[in-house]
Amino acid sequence: MVQYVATPSWLGRFFTRIKWVSIEQDVLVVHFRDMTKQQFLLSDFSNFSVLQNSLFSAKIYLCDPNNTCVSFLKKAEADVLNKALNKYFSNTLEQKVNNAKILLKRYALDEFLRDSSIEILNKAVFSLSKNYAHNQTVWQQHLSPISVKFLSILSSTPKTADAVAQLRHKYEQKQLTLRDNFYNNVESNPLTTEQRLAVIRDNDKNLVLAAAGTGKTSVMVAKSLDLIARGIALPEQVLVLAYNKMAAQELKERFIKRAAHANLSIKPPAILTFHALGLKLLQDAKKSTKLSTFATDEIQQKTWLTAWLYKQMQTDSTFLKNVVDLLHEPVDIFSFKSSAEYERCLRDNEYRSLAGRKVKSYQELLISNWLYLQSVEHEYEPHYKNKLEISAEDITLNAQYNPNFHLSKYNIYLEHFDIDREGNTRADINKKRYNEQIAFKRKLHKNNNTILLETFHYNWFEGKLEQRLSKLLKQHSVALVPLNDDEVFSTLNNSGLLQQGVEKYLKCLQAIRAEQLTNTQIKQRIKQSGLKNHQRYAAMLIAIHNAYMQELHTQNAIDFDDMIIHATKAVKKGEFSVPWSHILVDEFQDISGARMAFLNTLINKGKSVRFTAVGDDWQAIYRFSGGNLAFTTRFNELVGGHSLTMLQKTFRYNNSISDVAGRFVMQNPEQYKKLISTHTQVTTPHVILLDDLYQGTKSIEIKVQQSISRIQKNDASASIAILSRYRYMLNSVQQHLKDKKHTNSLYFWTLHSAKGLEADYCIIIGFEQGKLGFPSDNQNNVLVESLLPEQDEFTHSEERRLLYVGITRAKHKAYLIADPYACSAFVKELVNDDYPIQIASTLFNKSQLKQRECNTCSDGLIVPKTGQYGNYYSCTNTQICETKLRVCKSCSSPSVDKSTYSQCVNMECKTQHPICEKCGREMRKRKSKHGEFLGCSGFELKEDSCKNTRKLTVT
């Protein structure tokens, strides 16, 4: 039925195509002269229309999203039509406002406004208030006062983001009041406001970022109880995931205890580890869950891989060559920018050749291995001539000369020179001097009639090292007899090199499975690492990965990774329907790629699942087993939009512990900055640094025992934990304390296993230097590194977090016991950077630490030693630094040799002892008929004697 027709004014005949406009049923129809028409469903409008009169005609603005305007209408007809439209709109918009109220209540007042509900509110609520804001007078004319009031309140916050924030704030405030009693009583102490907010916020995704001891566990328990008690979820709709069995058990016990305490008779939700959850889903989906022995017995896994490699080597000689070539990652020394970088590389890599020799560089290793595989016997760095003999001829070499290799059977020397075709050297080596030394070595061999064969860095770089070796040796009639495959295999096996390779490949396999890497990703990651043989490494690892999965298939069994990987697949395929509306995950900072993929699948397959991650980026310590901190630090990008709550008040420890631990971990700029406040305040340092000496001799065991006795005297029932980076040190302390009497409960934790635990007092040991020290220098090699989750560049960043975890286990005091003569980088930092700790030993005096720094290498320390010729000092970086210093006869400090004297480093002593400029031995005062003079102490020696003398005045 056509109603309210409006036709064009006389002007409209020239300026519009419109024939007439009318309301027909619930549709506004614009008819055009060419018989076409445009229709607008009236119920689609969320705004009133506006009439605008001009001299000869009128136009109606429809105020729809396209800003449609119907122009050149007769004024009187347009007026009637517009009134009719707005009458209609006032009914529908009144209904829309009522509906908006219902939606607002449902999505923003009765529950926490979730990101996924914002779209609904945008369409049905915020769009109305925006239209209202632009057209207020018209709306006020046509709508009821109560609707106008509602819209005017809403429109006072025009930006959606602000409106969302306000609604959330309002909801939080309401719940804080309503649930005050519950939050006061759910734990033994009232929850803090930030803890309460962490419980209340129920966005699609929530991140609770905490620090140690801030009550993360309390929040997990309170949140799951609150969800169930308020009827937001049934117990079977809540899933809590803990990092390990012990934590899951603790959460379960605390849930039951707290529910009873809050007078709630509530059945606990599912509180599981990731593995237990995977297993449960596989069982529910009727999948095989037989556990492979590989999962529980590491040795079986090693045996399997060794046997598999052996089988491949037997059938394929190229494979055998690959195994040998890939034992050590190629190192291009020209890529080092400083001597420190080079030293670090040498320290982190031990080059043990097939002949069982420890050599100093990767390229020397290749040469030694090649010689070995060709059955050429060779010595490494044999003595050629000593300093004295050489200096008689030339002064270019300042130590005794040891060429790289000597083929004794043929009396041939072999030198590998680290230069490119232009004679350039490593960045930190003086090119001129190095080339002079090469020239001198050549001359020396010539003068002595010895054969010198030469290979160069560029031979290796151009992939022609083996070719050159073969050519040179053949020219000198050296017999080359290649070993057969069996001989090579048994050498690999007997030397332990195969074992090392197997261990490295298993670490890679673990990383591939934890990160769920595809073959393409494996290739990409290894390529990105810059490894020269990246294609061969990738091919080897892909083959091992496939063989491993095939082996599990043959066993018809799964390993721990499979519990998660297979369960993810089953959920994806819909073989298990997800019953959970709320998933809470603890220790999120250590989540792996595979676990995150599992969580994402559960979230996507479930119905409107809300996810809460609780973690602490300062405590991420499981990268080696796939923990990827980026999921926490880049949560928005990698997991999604979320509500963030920070827990920054700690209850476990005092401000002294918090200041030291917090400052230490925040040295890494990649860590979140947090302002931690502590429940307990103290006025003196409660982190104490002790030396590990007992009556002048290193004895960690006795020192720990003494510390325990001291604690016991003050607090006989306190719990005490002894913590160390590695288990071996704990074992020896535990053994020592076995028969000693003590009233306290003692715990022995590695720093990794201490996660989530606490004790009244903590004693941390093991601050040694090196691979088994702390920070541990046991760096992964480049290959394993390339497959592990990315990490920030800050030196020792994960080890730093580990010390943070260690110190923050203590409720009252943390004792750090360290070797003052060889203290690690961490102890040096604590002392040198004036951390607010109590230093309970004068041996950690800053200037003494400075005196002990090695001047030759980048981070070695000079420590006292006793050898067959008496006492001396040497550098702790034994692999790379040969520094040996004499003991000052006046004060026993280290003394550094100059050309004619040795200078004591102790600034208060500074004694100069004369030494022989020819052989380096001590010079002694002697008498002759001409008076006193200095003579070399090597004078009387039978072999290698030195007759050097000089005037007494010369020092």
Binding residue positions for ATP: 210-217
Q: Which is nearer to ligand ATP, 199 or 371 (CB)?
A: 199
Site string for ligand ATP, 49-78 (x = CB under 6 A): ------------------------------
Q: Which is nearer to ligand ATP, 43 or 185 (CB)?
A: 185
Binding of residue 216 to ligand ATP (CB under 6 A): yes
Binding of residue 262 to ligand ATP (CB under 6 A): no
Q: Which is nearer to ligand ATP, 241 or 782 (CB)?
A: 241
Minimum distance, C-beta of residue 652 to ligand ATP, in the bound complex (Å): 5
In Å, what is the CA distance from 46 to each residue of 84, 124, 155, 453?
A: 16, 9, 15, 91
Site for ligand ATP in 793-812 (CB under 6 A): 808
Q: What is the CA radius of gyration of the chain?
A: 39
Q: Which is nearer to ligand ATP, 189 or 288 (CB)?
A: 189
Binding of residue 617 to ligand ATP (CB under 6 A): no
> Do residues 228 and 238 make contact, with C-beta atoms less than 8 angstroms apart?
yes
Instruction: Using CB under 6 A, count the residues that bind ligand ATP.
Output: 18
Minimum distance, C-beta of residue 143 to ligand ATP, in the bound complex (Å): 48
> Do residues 922 and 937 make contact, with C-beta atoms less than 8 angstroms apart?
yes
Q: Which two tokens stand for residue 545?
A: 């990965």
Give the Cα separation of 448 and 486 in Å (integer).
41
Q: Which is nearer to ligand ATP, 218 or 776 (CB)?
A: 218
Binding of residue 213 to ligand ATP (CB under 6 A): yes
Pairing relationship of beta strands 862-867 and 870-875 according to DSSP bridges: antiparallel
Minimum distance, C-beta of residue 661 to ligand ATP, in the bound complex (Å): 10
Length of the chain (residues): 955
Q: Which is nearer to ligand ATP, 215 or 775 (CB)?
A: 215
Amino acid at 237: Q
Task: Encode 796-830 in three state secondary structure.
Answer: CHHHHHHHHHHHCCEEEEEEEEECCCCCCHHHHHH
Give the Cα separation of 184 and 190 in Å (integer).
4
Q: Which of 16, 192, 289, 655 binds ligand ATP (CB under 6 A)?
A: 192
Binding of residue 195 to ligand ATP (CB under 6 A): yes
Minimum distance, C-beta of residue 217 to ligand ATP, in the bound complex (Å): 3
How far out from the chain centre does Cα 751 lie?
16
DSSP string, 536-564: HHHHHHHHHHHHHHHHHHHHT-B-HHHHH
Element (H or E) spanning 199, and its range? helix 193-200
From the list 215-223, 534-542, 591-599, 731-739, the region that binds ligand ATP by CB under 6 A is 215-223
Binding of residue 901 to ligand ATP (CB under 6 A): no
Q: Which is nearer to ligand ATP, 201 or 378 (CB)?
A: 201
Binding of residue 179 to ligand ATP (CB under 6 A): no
In Å, what is the CA distance from 793 to each residue of 59, 402, 668, 714, 863?
A: 66, 38, 9, 43, 30
Binding of residue 254 to ligand ATP (CB under 6 A): no
Minimum distance, C-beta of residue 226 to ligand ATP, in the bound complex (Å): 14
Q: Which of 53, 189, 448, 735 binds ligand ATP (CB under 6 A)?
A: 189
Annotated binding site: 210-217
How far out from the chain centre does Cα 713 lie?
41
Binding of residue 672 to ligand ATP (CB under 6 A): no
Give the Cα separation of 438 and 436 in Å (integer).
5
Who contacts 220 (Cβ-Cβ below 8 Å, separation ≥6)? 240, 251, 584, 586, 614
Q: Which is nearer to ligand ATP, 240 or 538 (CB)?
A: 240
Q: Which two tokens stand for residue 601?
A: 């699948």
From the list 142-150, 184-192, 592-600, 882-890, the region that binds ligand ATP by CB under 6 A is 184-192
How far out from the chain centre does Cα 93 lie?
55
Binding of residue 616 to ligand ATP (CB under 6 A): yes
Q: Which of 434, 651, 672, 872 binds ligand ATP (CB under 6 A)?
A: 651
Q: Which of 70, 125, 191, 248 binds ligand ATP (CB under 6 A)?
A: 191
DSSP string, 49-94: -EEEE-SS-EEEE--STT--EEEEE-HHHHHHHHHHHHHHHHHHHH
In Å, what is the CA distance from 437 to each residue of 401, 416, 417, 440?
A: 11, 13, 10, 5
Q: Which of 77, 187, 562, 617 binds ligand ATP (CB under 6 A)?
A: 187
From the list 185-193, 373-381, 451-459, 534-542, the region that binds ligand ATP by CB under 6 A is 185-193
- Residue of closest CB approach to ligand ATP: 215
CA–CA–CA angle 550, 554, 556 (5° rounding): 115
From the list 38-46, 125-133, 183-191, 886-894, the region that binds ligand ATP by CB under 6 A is 183-191
Task: Encode 402-471 in three state secondary structure.
Answer: CCCEEECCCCEEEEEECCCCCCCCCCCCCHHHHHHHHHHHHHHHHHCCCEEEEEEHHHHHCCCHHHHHHH
Q: Which is nearer to ligand ATP, 561 or 617 (CB)?
A: 617
From the list 52-60, 68-76, 214-222, 530-538, the region that binds ligand ATP by CB under 6 A is 214-222
Binding of residue 412 to ligand ATP (CB under 6 A): no
Q: What is the DSSP letter of 39?
A: E
Give the Cα separation of 621 and 775 in Å (integer).
13
Binding of residue 722 to ligand ATP (CB under 6 A): no
Element (H or E) spanning 750, and its range? strand 745-750
Binding of residue 329 to ligand ATP (CB under 6 A): no
Q: What is the DSSP letter of 355?
A: T
**Burial (CB count within 10 angstroms: exposed 0-12, middle 13-18, buried 19+), residue 742:** middle
Q: Which of 125, 186, 212, 320 binds ligand ATP (CB under 6 A)?
A: 212
Q: Which is nearer to ligand ATP, 559 or 617 (CB)?
A: 617
Minimum distance, C-beta of residue 567 to ligand ATP, in the bound complex (Å): 27
Who contacts 664 (Cβ-Cβ below 8 Å, separation ≥6)? 800, 803, 804, 807, 829, 830, 835
Minimum distance, C-beta of residue 207 to ligand ATP, in the bound complex (Å): 14
Q: Which is nearer to ligand ATP, 40 or 255 (CB)?
A: 255
From the list 191-199, 685-693, 849-857, 924-932, the region that binds ligand ATP by CB under 6 A is 191-199
From the list 190-198, 238-246, 689-697, 833-841, the region that binds ligand ATP by CB under 6 A is 190-198
> Do residues 848 and 822 make contact, with C-beta atoms less than 8 angstroms apart?
no
Binding of residue 197 to ligand ATP (CB under 6 A): no
Residue 917, phi then psi, degrees to nearest 5: -75, -10
Q: Which of 352, 652, 686, 828 binds ligand ATP (CB under 6 A)?
A: 652
Q: How many helices (H) and strands (E) does the chain have?
A: 36, 38
Q: Which of 71, 147, 155, 217 binds ligand ATP (CB under 6 A)?
A: 217
Q: Which of 147, 214, 656, 658 binds ligand ATP (CB under 6 A)?
A: 214
In the chain, what's the furthest Cα-to-Cα distance?
143
Q: Which is nearer to ligand ATP, 199 or 875 (CB)?
A: 199
Binding of residue 756 to ligand ATP (CB under 6 A): yes
Q: Which is nearer to ligand ATP, 129 or 633 (CB)?
A: 633
From the list 106-114, 207-215, 307-315, 881-889, the region that binds ligand ATP by CB under 6 A is 207-215
Q: Which is nearer to ligand ATP, 650 or 877 (CB)?
A: 650
Element (H or E) spanning 388, and its range? helix 387-393
Cis peptide before 836 (omega within 30 of 0): no
Q: For binding to ligand ATP (CB under 6 A), which residues are involved?
A: 187, 189, 191-192, 195, 210, 212-218, 616, 651-652, 756, 808
